[in-house]
Structure 1
Amino acid sequence: MGRKDAEDPIQWAADEDRDLQEIATWEPRTTLDGLATVVHRLLLSGGRAAIIGLALAIVAGQFAITVAVTLEDPILAVYFALSIVPALGLVVLIWRSDVVAFEPIETLSVTFLLGFLFAGFAAVFNSSFRGLFVGFGAIGMVFYFLLVVGPIEETVKLLAVRLHAYRSENFDAVIDGAIYGAVAGLGFAAIENVLYITQGYMQVAATGAGGLFAPTAQTAAVRSFAGPGHVIYSAFAGYYLGLAKFNPAHRGPLVIKGLLVATGIHATYNILVSNLEGVLNLVPILGGLPPTLGFVAFVIAYDGLFFAILYGKLSRYRRTFESVGAGAFYDRSP
């Protein structure tokens, strides 16, 4: 009989019917054991509750002005909703690619809300560290995007998946990680768009000029093209989280690989957008475009490339799923 890495030498050497309680194995038997188990569960649930509570407090502070402005001009709510339509469409497309079993709306909704809430953590960290890099000019911002914005934003989006969906029985296939990652990205993009649109609206209002809604609509349109990126980045990270769940021996490296991939794509996007005029000038057909059209063309090309790569991974999973006949074990109803 070969030894298993997860077992103490006594476990694999002793007979199966031998009681090894508190020698090499353990299960709750005494009152103290039960108390330890309860305290552990409370700490886990309390830790999750504390993280969510802190996120709520941060978002409430960020959102207070948005709520006040929206009550004054309800049409802003329409701009908020329209700004996430492209990202939402992308999420639906990814969700529909699930060949195993469609993920339930309840778990998807919680993941969306957590992505929405945890965006506040990213905002706090990003603003706190920005000052360390901005003084070094363009090079400093490159490192800021690579070392701060990309890693922090992708980590908080992955945390939104890890705290709930990952622990759910619904997360029962590798591909589910990409789906929940995409939904967390949608939640993140939603609040980011809301804050950008609110800020743009208030800046125009502060000038005292009329025609508030034309520039606000333009901001909403620009943000609608920025949102899908978040879905794509975190879908990559989520896919590797799915691999990690079903390959526990390599869980840590797989999670890190997913974050590195998502961070790399995300940070590169930010770097290129921050130097968009120079980037567009490298492509003669794009160099003469107005800034807004140039931005749209760039985003479509950049996100299109990485979405194609992501969709290729999902399609390869689908083909393999079908070729091994795994569909016989699953009910695809949501």
Structure 2
Amino acid sequence: MEDPVESRADESEDLYDVASWEPRTALDRLAVRVHQGGRRLVRLTLYVLGFVIFVGILAGGAGAIIIDNPFVLGLVVLSVVPAGLLALYVYRTDVTTKEPATLIAATFVLAILFAGFAAVVNSTFGAIQQAGLIGLVLYYYLVVGPGEEFVKLLAVRLYAYRDDRFDSVIDGAVYGAVAGLGFATIENVLYITQNLQGSGAVLTAVAVDFLAQFSEAVEAGGQITAVRSLAGPGHVIYSAFAGYYLGLAKFNRENAIPIILKGLIIAAFIHGTYNVLVGIVPGLVSLIVPGVPVLVLFFGFVVVYVGLFFFILYRKLQRYRRRYKEVHDDVENPAEMTPELTEFDPDAG
């Protein structure tokens, strides 16, 4: 969009500070530096706050349990294996240039640090859950889902997104998946250590050899590890959706904010729906099919729910791969590219 003066003026006419602008004077350059410095300060503040909250969380008990019982880390690693494999799959679907390890690692670490922001928000509004079923639904849809998906996307937006090597839409899905893996990792650390602490399970010094200590760790936290191993892939899928739309926004700057919001809404809705249904569906099914352990029904629900949205994500990523290959395999006679409806648009089949 152009100003009426700029649109009708001769190209040779200087419209600086009339209808156009560029940094020319010392004051202009100062304004640019203040703007850039302010953005850097905001990023630095978020990094520091995230680190402080992270240290506070570890100091609250999780760190001590891990130091005293290092085999707990083995349970954490086991709990994130499914999420890690899923993130690896998303990474391998990137048909463009592969993402550098530095950006992958930075995104993973930032997601761990920023998870503390979500923990603070969840704790602040946790009282909403006391309002019965309605309160629980509102809490998951308006607090947990949006809050956790926002901080995961923030981990991508503040670093990898700004790098020139983030050079395709599908890169957003890759970094979103990595952010989901980072978030799931620290979340599993907290769940596993809190479960061990709450159950009174202690890995004693009696188990002096490696196998005995590891066996004791598995016995104490095996069930929560299995449960968390199924929750992790969801985080990867939710944030891969949001990340994909962040990538789409990077290459459609005129509509960037609505595109980012669309991705966040999709991710938060899938996330919130999972949290609501996972506490209801297994119990209801157990009434219809008595005799089946609720834990088995829980596993079944998670596999079906996560599998459904993994399939939708798979289709989205394959659509991008197909179009990428079409335009690169036939450069001289490119196919007519007509936009396709997504799975989330109302007129999609």
Tell me the TM-score normalised to structure 2 length: 0.86
Q: Which of 86, 91, 94 is residue 95 of structure 1 equivalent to?
A: 91
CA distance in 2, matches of 1:119, 1:241: 19
Q: Deviations over 1:262-307 (max 9, x none)?
A: 11111111011112433434874xx543232222221111111100
User: For residue 24 of structure 1, what is the amino acid of its counterpart?
Assistant: A
Other-structure match for 2:272: 267
Q: Which of 176, 184, 189 is residue 171 of structure 2 equivalent to?
A: 176
User: For residue 154 of structure 1, what is the amino acid of its counterpart?
Assistant: E
CA distance in 2, matches of 1:274, 1:215: 24
User: For residue 173 of structure 1, what is the amino acid of its counterpart?
Assistant: S
Other-structure match for 1:67: 63
**Coordinate RMSD, CA, aligned:** 2.1
Aligned to 1:15, the other structure's residue is in SS state coil
Q: 1:176 to 1:208 in 2, by over 3 A?
A: closer
Other-structure match for 1:25: 20
1:37 counterpart = 2:42: no
Kindly report which structure 2 residues correspond to 1:174-323, keeping only aligned pairs within 5 A, or say none. Answer: 174-205=169-200, 213-281=218-286, 284=289, 288-323=291-326
CA distance in 2, matches of 1:190, 1:124: 17
Q: 1:283 to 1:306 in 2, by over 3 A?
A: farther
Other-structure match for 1:164: 159
Aligned to 1:107, the other structure's residue is in SS state helix
CA distance in 2, matches of 1:35, 1:239: 36
Moved more, 223-232 or 197-206: 197-206
Kindly report which structure 2 residues correspond to 1:51-130, keeping only aligned pairs within 5 A, or say none. Answer: 51-64=46-59, 65-130=61-126
Q: 1:320 to 1:288 in 2, by over 3 A?
A: farther
Aligned to 2:24, the other structure's residue is in SS state coil
CA distance in 1, matches of 2:319, 2:232: 26
Conserved 8 A contact 1:272-1:279: no
Conserved 8 A contact 1:91-1:179: yes
Moved more, 33-42 or 176-185: 33-42
User: For residue 234 of structure 1, what is the amino acid of its counterpart?
Assistant: S
- How far is 1:18 from its partner? 2.2
Q: 1:327 to 1:166 in 2, by over 3 A?
A: farther
Aligned residues: 320
- How far is 1:123 from its partner? 0.6
- How far is 1:258 from its partner? 0.9
Conserved 8 A contact 2:196-2:202: no
User: For residue 101 of structure 2, what is the amino acid of its counterpart?
Assistant: I
Conserved 8 A contact 1:200-1:219: yes
CA distance in 2, matches of 1:142, 1:256: 21
Tell me the TM-score normalised to structure 1 length: 0.90
Aligned to 1:169, the other structure's residue is in SS state coil
Conserved 8 A contact 2:141-2:268: yes
Aligned to 1:84, the other structure's residue is in SS state helix
Give 5+ residue unaligned stretches, structure 2: 207-215, 332-349
Conserved 8 A contact 1:185-1:231: yes
Aligned to 1:34, the other structure's residue is in SS state helix
User: For residue 51 of structure 1, what is the amino acid of its counterpart?
Assistant: L
Give 5+ residue unaligned stretches, structure 1: 329-334
User: For residue 224 of structure 2, what is the amino acid of its counterpart?
Assistant: T
Aligned to 1:59, the other structure's residue is in SS state helix
CA distance in 1, matches of 2:288, 2:323: 39
Other-structure match for 2:338: none
- How far is 1:12 from its partner? 2.3
Moved more, 190-199 or 234-243: 234-243
- How far is 1:142 from its partner? 1.1
